[in-house]
Amino acid sequence: MSDSQGPLWEVFVQKKSGQPYVHAGNVHAFDKEMALQNARDVYSRRNEGTAIWVVPSDAITASTPEDMGSFFEPSNDKIFRHPTFYQIPDGIGHM
Amino acid sequence: MENQALYNYLIHLADDSVVLAQRLCEWTGHGPFLEEDLALTNISLDVFGRARAILEYAAQLEGKGRTEDHLAFFRNEREYTNVLLAELPNGDYAKTMMRLAFMNAYDFLLYTELSKSTNATLAGIAAKAVKESIYHRRHSFSWIERFGNGTEESMHRLKEAFLDTWSFTGEMFECHAQFAELVKTGVVVDPARLKANWDKDIRDLLQRAGLTAPEGVYMHTGGRKGVHTEHLGHLLAEMQSLPRSLPEATW
């Protein structure tokens, strides 16, 4: 995943303190500091976030489309794993 | 004009930014790669934005119904009072970043002082510029360190960039007699007061990049009096040609 623009880094932006970091996209950069600055310039210059993570893309291990059936479908028929029987209290924010 | 000295001060403050921002925006679409192209264009926009706020205030003080656009686009080369450093051609990326690092370090110190100005408008403009210049400085400084610790080629280019620009840095610290009263009343800062901190910041940076600044170098001067290098005329011609040929043009 490397070319003359340097390796790829995945960018995760946190909108507000306490919220999860959400994948925003990726940037090219030759080192950590450059990756962080580029991520800031590409993904947060319109005030989208309050914090950023950058991770080398090749450090991420991903499931493949072939994994889909065995990974995700078995949970479909186990309704007891889904918290649909509970009232979520108002005080709990992001569930 | 009652506030002639303040007007002149604002003009030279803004001119440093207008000319630097115009130089930086020459890279738009020509950056080394997409992300860096965006980064430098962002910096250019920040610097233009700061210039605009300063010129808007200057135009208001002047009270002749002119706007910031008039002041940017309808003043000639001899009426521009930016430092020569700002108008030097970009050269390669090392030279662009060297000049930018010198000016970012200076802007951070200058606007930090100006944010304490007894003039509330100037203090407000300066406070915003401080935050921006912290980021600009971080960006240009990290490139200088990268060039200095990169390859033989990048080090060679960094050295050339340094030699091309160093003798233009002295002018930033000149204080002119017309501003003495403004300094005394705490409206503006005597730039000579920034010199020691700037020196330390830059010498530390150069050391991290494997360079040493020589002592006792002849320093070019003239920009503050409107006496420029041959490069400013070309820059202004490009920047001003549209509003001068179509003065009523709007977006």
Give residue A1's pLDDT.
43
What are the C-alpha distances in Å from B90 to residues B21, B23, B26, B218? Answer: 11, 7, 8, 22
Smallest Cβ distance to A41: which of B33, B38, B146?
B38
Task: Verify whether the Cβ–Cβ distance A27 to B35 is below 8 Å.
Answer: yes
Distance from CA of A18 to the nearest CA of B (A): 24
Give residue B218's pLDDT.
96
Question: Which residues of B have a CB under 8 Å from any CB of A?
Answer: 33-36, 38-39, 42, 135, 138-139, 142, 146
Task: Verify whether the Cβ–Cβ distance B39 to A38 is below 8 Å.
Answer: yes
Give residue B193's pLDDT.
97
Query: A2 CB near a chain B CB, below 8 Å?
Result: no
Distance from CA of A4 to the nearest CA of B (A): 9
User: CA-to-CA distance for B108 and B132, rounded, in angstroms?
Assistant: 8
Structure tokens that stand for B191 in this block: 């730039």
Task: Verify whether the Cβ–Cβ distance A38 to B42 is below 8 Å.
Answer: no
> CB neighbours of A85 closer than 8 A, spacing ≥ 6?
none
What are the boundaries of each domain within chain A? 8-81
Distance from CA of B139 to the nearest CA of A (A): 7
Report the interhelical angle of B120-148 vs B34-62 (nearest 10°): 150
For residue B129, with 0-12 CB atoms within 10 Å meaning exposed, 13-18 middle and 19 or more buried, which class applies?
buried
pLDDT, tens digit, for every residue of A41-75?
999 877 778 899 999 999 999 998 888 888 877 77
Q: Which domains does chain B have, with CATH numbers?
A: 4-210+221-245 (1.20.1260.10)
Side chain identity at residue B8, one-letter code = N
Task: Verify whether the Cβ–Cβ distance A45 to B42 is below 8 Å.
Answer: yes
Average pLDDT over residues A70-93: 74
Task: Verify whether the Cβ–Cβ distance A31 to B42 is below 8 Å.
Answer: no
Give residue A95's pLDDT.
59
Q: Specify the higher pLDDT residue, A83 or B231.
A: B231
Size of interface A-B (CB pairs under 8 A): 31
pLDDT tens across the length of chain B (251 residues): 779 999 999 999 999 999 999 999 999 999 999 999 999 999 999 999 999 999 999 999 999 999 999 999 999 999 999 999 999 999 999 999 999 999 999 999 999 999 999 999 999 999 999 999 999 999 999 999 999 999 999 999 999 999 999 999 999 999 889 999 999 999 999 999 999 999 999 999 999 999 999 888 999 999 999 999 999 999 999 999 999 999 888 87
Smallest Cβ distance to A37: which of B33, B34, B139?
B139
Query: Would you state the CATH architecture of domain A8-81?
Result: Roll (3.10)
Structure tokens that stand for B61 in this block: 């003080």
Give residue A94's pLDDT.
65
Please report the ipTM that was assigned to this predicted complex.
0.78
Question: Which candidate in A9, A36, A38, A44 is best for mutational testing of the B interface (most B CBs within 10 A)?
Answer: A38
Half-sphere exposure of A36 (CA within 13 A, CB side): 11
The DSSP string of B43-80 is HHHHHHHHHHHHHHHHHHHHTSS--HHHHHHS--GGG-
Q: Phi and psi at residue A26, in whole multiples of 5°?
A: -140, 165
The H-or-E segment that residue A22 falls in is: strand A21-28
